[in-house]
Amino acid sequence: ALKSVIDNLDDKVTDLFVVAHSLGNIVTRRYLADNHDPQTNRQGDPRLRRMVMIGPPNQGSKVARLMKHSLLFNTIAGKSGAQLAATWDKLEPTLATPSIEFGIIAGGQQDGDWSNFVLQGKDDYTVSVEETKLVGATDSLVRPLLHSNMMTQQIVLDATVSFFENGYFISESERKPIEK
């Protein structure tokens, strides 16, 4: 479906920037893998410039794995959530690491704040900061945000615009790439 949307954009659209939340990042990574040109080593549409991942379960999701037998979880998360929960080991190899510049915004509480007891370390109550990481990100940002509404928070909106315009969330000197 994502490919269909992108393929049907008007020719006047010359630059594409992707911002995705949660499972939308997995969908986008699958699109990039499925639409790879080995001759040019280009992923997806050639107009793609930069991507911001908000709360991405790039390493799978412990919460999804624990809830995989829940009717409520399966109703809300659907087939993609089931893949994330039950068959991550089969899904992960089908996902591309974006070849375009990409940044990751994760939710993580301050010391002493709320936390999801099933996750280790900082988390957004659904995905841990560690689960969001993907080697190759040119910048990353962790703020005390909840997974369910992080995409509507002003700090996320401002950081996303900054990344699209500049290639960093806050400043060049405060860039935090994710490396091996």
| Contact call for residues 56 and 127 (beta carbons, < 8 A) | yes
Please determine, for residue 110, whether its predicted confidence score (pLDDT) is greater than 70: no
The DSSP element (H or E) to which 137 belongs, if any, is none
Please report the pLDDT score of residue 85 as a whole number: 73
**pLDDT, mean of residues 16-39:** 94
The pairing of beta strand 16-21 with beta strand 36-37: unpaired
* Per-residue pLDDT band at 39 (split at 50, 70, 90): confident
At residue 135, the pLDDT reads 98
129-167 pLDDT, tens digit each: 999 999 999 999 999 999 999 999 999 999 999 999 999
Highest mean pLDDT: which range of 36-45, 93-102, 118-127 = 93-102
Average pLDDT, the chain: 90
pLDDT of residue 114: 66
The type of residue at 118 is V
CB 67, CB 85: distance < 8 Å? yes
Those residues with Cβ within 8 angstroms of residue 93's Cβ, 6 or more apart along the chain or in another chain: none
pLDDT value of position 180: 85
Statement: residue 109 has pLDDT above 90: no
Q: Over 90: is that where the pLDDT of 38 sits?
A: no
pLDDT of residue 119: 76
CA distances (Å), 5 to each of 10, 30, 68, 81, 82, in order? 10, 15, 30, 22, 24
- 83: pLDDT strictly greater than 90: no
- For 52-75, write each residue's pLDDT tens digit: 999 999 999 888 777 777 777 767
Put residue 118 in one of left, alpha, beta given phi > 0 → left and psi -120 to 50 → alpha: alpha
